[in-house]
Structure 1
Amino acid sequence: MGPWDRLVENISSKLAFFPPTPATYAVREHQDGTGEQYIQPLSPDVPKVLQCKVKIIPVPPFKRGGGGTNIVTAFFRYGSHSRSSHASSGAGGASSSAATAAASSSAASRLTLLYSHGNAVDLGHMLPVYRELSRLLKVNVMGYDYSGYGCSTGSPTVNNTLADITAVLACLQDTYGIPAGRVVLYGQSVGSGPSCYLGAERADLAGVVLHSPLLSGVRVLKPHVRWWPAWADVYPNHTLAPKIKSPVLVMHGTEDEVIHISCGKRLHELCPNKATPLWAAGYGHQDLEMCSGYLPTLENFLAKVAGQQYLQMPAGPGAAGPSVVAQQQQQQQQGQAVGGAPAPAAAAAAAGAAAQQRAAATASGAGAGGSGSASTPSGAGQAGAGSGGAGALNGQNGHQATGAGTAGGPPASASGGRR
């Protein structure tokens, strides 16, 4: 890494990343002799979730710099119950081994979302969301904390996040037996950076979902900039999108006040294997999941990348199911932007998680901004460009798994800049 690269890395690390401080959780070990770990909330507002496998994995040194840290991962296998049910079956000898083998085989054949979360949240906030996405979409979900977030070691930097997601994919393959061809990358806001990177690097992935993505760091600040030196930019998704061979779904709110919808529109145009996008009319950066088309659009995309295997899978409790996908395809093709009333909450846990994220992010995002401000590449703060220096605002990344409704449609007009 050259001197200019190090300078940009240092600046972007201070302006683009806002990990919750302190972390909302601790990693603890179950007192049953298994050595298995779990995430223990450190705040009464963060719910305890045990339906996942928690592992701390090493991140190897990265070719571009970064790595050498240990990050926390949480894997949700679709259909898993509470940890107690797993523990009770653990003493079953041969039958337990057969059940474990069957579960592993099922997990390997099912799609897995590798979810790179937004800013100002950590796994304590995100576990209820991952659990609901797994249940509703009938997929496995792998979540992780970037270096410097939650209980992951190191500092949050661009190169560290690229090393992190590379290590998480390797963990999915080596530890959980999930082939890359069954992995769908899901990048939200700042998470679109590592997701686009890995999507461009690996042609064997099942798909890529970009949720309120940035075009590049500088292009969040100035959506219509035509040229900027590559060494002075971070997360150049606009150069990576054309290299992603897997199907790509872009979802963006027309009223996104942090990352302008023109970023999502342009990324959609640049992807060679694009899926029908979701332009959520009237929705912003923090509430896209509340749009009635959110779940149906994801279901439609997953059905596209998984084919009949996804359509034939049993629906999870409360899931809209593939039948909704078929009902929405005609409306998507008609080009109607999503609008109107928000969909009902799929579960109280997801709604609670959204509220907790907003509260935590607002607290962590408080700072003294300058008189002239602009969105940071992360979509989680504002860098004061005036005399006040750097400050952070709008750090929340609200999530809800929502019900079914109409989806798709043409992009709304974008005038550029923040609204």
Structure 2
Amino acid sequence: MPSPLRRVRRWAVLLLVAYLGIVVVFWFIERQLVFRPSSAEEAWLKPEDDRTQDVQFDSADGTKIFGRWIPPESPQHGAVLVANGNGGNLTHRGRLAADLRRALGAGVLLFDYPGYGKSAGKPTEEGCYAAGDAAYRWLTDEARVAPNRIILCGESLGGGTAVELATKREHRALVLIYTFTSLPAAAKHHFPFLPVHTLMRTRFDNLAKIGRCPRPVFLVHGTADSVVPFDHSEQLSAAANEPKCFVRLEGAGHSVLPGESYTPALVNFLHAHAP
């Protein structure tokens, strides 16, 4: 009969092997956990604004990117470039686009990352950045929106694309809706037992970049968000340059936010810090 010490060692080895197995599985399925696209065949909703137009453009590597564009009331109203969260596709952001168009009078451009909706390719962090840059170039080159009239808006995962753009491209303001400090930090909230900070290849390190965003920053986050903890936006707000505004939504979770819950504050903020 094995001694108690030998049994303890055996169990320790078994637990270690099981833990390493979990780590390896997580490493292999990371992108499936991060990116949850819906193809156009799976879900393709009608736009909520009847002025919506379908558009296409190519990212730097030639990947076909699909978008939807709601023109502005007038050229001086500029445009909002919306980077989506990790689930669904751009058609699930029809309400967000309609709310922003209604509140700001600005045009709104939605676009899908590679592998989402009707866009070609497969989603990666670099692919999201490239798609965002292609969308920005479409706004300036095709829609003729002045760069200093473009508002960069990121929803959840899309905050990473918006922040990346804000460090490189001229813009009017940066808007972040329940965005995380970094993807590994958000993953740590859900998988506290995994070494995600060293394990994850997909980073979207917004906290490290936001201090390099030179224009006004507007953040909104619900206190009951169970997907991205509320304190992530608190940390981003603290690290952002002035001028900035942080709207705290009591009891709101990680879902489509009613426009009236934050757009009045956004309108006031933009008016106070006109380009």
Aligned to 1:167: 134
Q: Which whole-Å CA distance do the structure 2 matches of 1:9 and 1:73 have between them?
A: 31
- Asked if residue 220 in structure 1 is aligned to residue 186 in structure 2, the reply is yes
Q: Which whole-Å CA distance do the structure 2 matches of 1:267 and 1:48 have between them?
A: 31
| Letter paired with 1:54 | D
- Asked if residue 254 in structure 1 is aligned to residue 223 in structure 2, the reply is yes
Aligned to 1:53: 53
| Letter paired with 1:20 | S
1:12–1:69: structure 2 CA closer, same or farther, 3 Å change rule? Answer: farther
Q: Which whole-Å CA distance do the structure 2 matches of 1:162 and 1:51 have between them?
A: 27
Q: Which has the higher contact order (CA 8 A, sep 6+)?
A: 1
| Letter paired with 1:15 | L
Q: Whose helix fraction is larger, Structure 1's or Structure 2's?
A: 2
Q: Which whole-Å CA distance do the structure 2 matches of 1:217 and 1:110 have between them?
A: 33
Task: Please give the per-residue CA displacement for 1:204-254, whole angstroms capped at 9, x wherever unaligned.
Answer: 21110000001111111236x9x9459745101111111111111111111
Structure 1 residue runs without a partner (length 5+):
1-7, 26-40, 62-67, 80-105, 308-419
Residue 184 of structure 2 aligns to a residue in which SS?
helix
Aligned to 1:377: none
- Asked if residue 208 in structure 1 is aligned to residue 226 in structure 2, the reply is no
Q: Which whole-Å CA distance do the structure 2 matches of 1:274 and 1:261 have between them?
A: 21
Q: Which whole-Å CA distance do the structure 2 matches of 1:249 and 1:146 have between them?
A: 23
Instruction: Give the counterpart of 2:116 among 149, 153, 157.
Output: 149
| Letter paired with 1:281 | E
Task: Please give the per-residue CA displacement for 1:27-69, whole angstroms capped at 9, x wherever unaligned.
Answer: xxxxxxxxxxxxxx5xxxx4675412321111112xxxxxx31
Q: Which whole-Å CA distance do the structure 2 matches of 1:47 and 1:268 have between them?
A: 32
Instruction: Give the counterpart of 2:232 among 258, 263, 268.
Output: 263
Aligned to 1:189: 156
| Letter paired with 1:74 | R
Q: Whose strand fraction is larger, Structure 1's or Structure 2's?
A: 2
| Letter paired with 1:53 | Q
1:274–1:263: structure 2 CA closer, same or farther, 3 Å change rule? Answer: farther
Structure 1 position 301, deviation (Å)? 2.2
Task: Please give the per-residue CA displacement for 1:271-299, whole angstroms capped at 9, x wherever unaligned.
Answer: 11242210111111115x23854121111
Q: Which whole-Å CA distance do the structure 2 matches of 1:210 and 1:15 have between them?
A: 22
Aligned to 1:75: 69
Task: Please give the per-residue CA displacement for 1:113-158, whole angstroms capped at 9, x wherever unaligned.
Answer: 1011223222322234313421232211111111111001111111
| Letter paired with 2:43 | T
Residue 240 of structure 1 aligns to a residue in which SS?
helix
Q: Which whole-Å CA distance do the structure 1 matches of 2:31 and 2:98 have between them?
A: 30
Task: Please give the per-residue CA displacement for 1:173-198, whole angstroms capped at 9, x wherever unaligned.
Answer: 10011121100100000100101111
- Asked if residue 115 in structure 1 is aligned to residue 133 in structure 2, the reply is no
1:23–1:150: structure 2 CA closer, same or farther, 3 Å change rule? Answer: farther
Instruction: Give the counterpart of 2:262 among 288, 294, 297.
Output: 294
Aligned to 2:17: none
Identity of aligned residues (%): 25
Q: TM-score, normalised by structure 2?
A: 0.80
| Letter paired with 2:254 | H
Q: Which whole-Å CA distance do the structure 2 matches of 1:258 and 1:265 have between them?
A: 15
Structure 1 position 111, deviation (Å)? 2.6
Structure 2 residue runs without a partner (length 5+):
1-25
Tell whether the 8 Å contact from 1:23 to 1:122 is kept in structure 2 after alignment: no
- Asked if residue 24 in structure 1 is aligned to residue 18 in structure 2, the reply is no
- Asked if residue 306 in structure 1 is aligned to residue 274 in structure 2, the reply is yes
Aligned to 1:103: none
Task: Compute the RMSD of aligned alpha carbons.
Answer: 2.7
1:175–1:291: structure 2 CA closer, same or farther, 3 Å change rule? Answer: closer
Task: Please give the per-residue CA displacement for 1:308-330, whole angstroms capped at 9, x wherever unaligned.
Answer: xxxxxxxxxxxxxxxxxxxxxxx
Q: Which whole-Å CA distance do the structure 1 matches of 2:260 and 2:145 have between them?
A: 31
Aligned to 2:6: none
1:50–1:208: structure 2 CA closer, same or farther, 3 Å change rule? Answer: same
Aligned to 1:177: 144
Q: Which whole-Å CA distance do the structure 2 matches of 1:116 and 1:9 have between them?
A: 26
Aligned to 2:3: none
Q: TM-score, normalised by structure 1?
A: 0.54
Q: Which whole-Å CA distance do the structure 2 matches of 1:276 and 1:69 have between them?
A: 36
Residue 54 of structure 2 aligns to a residue in which SS?
strand
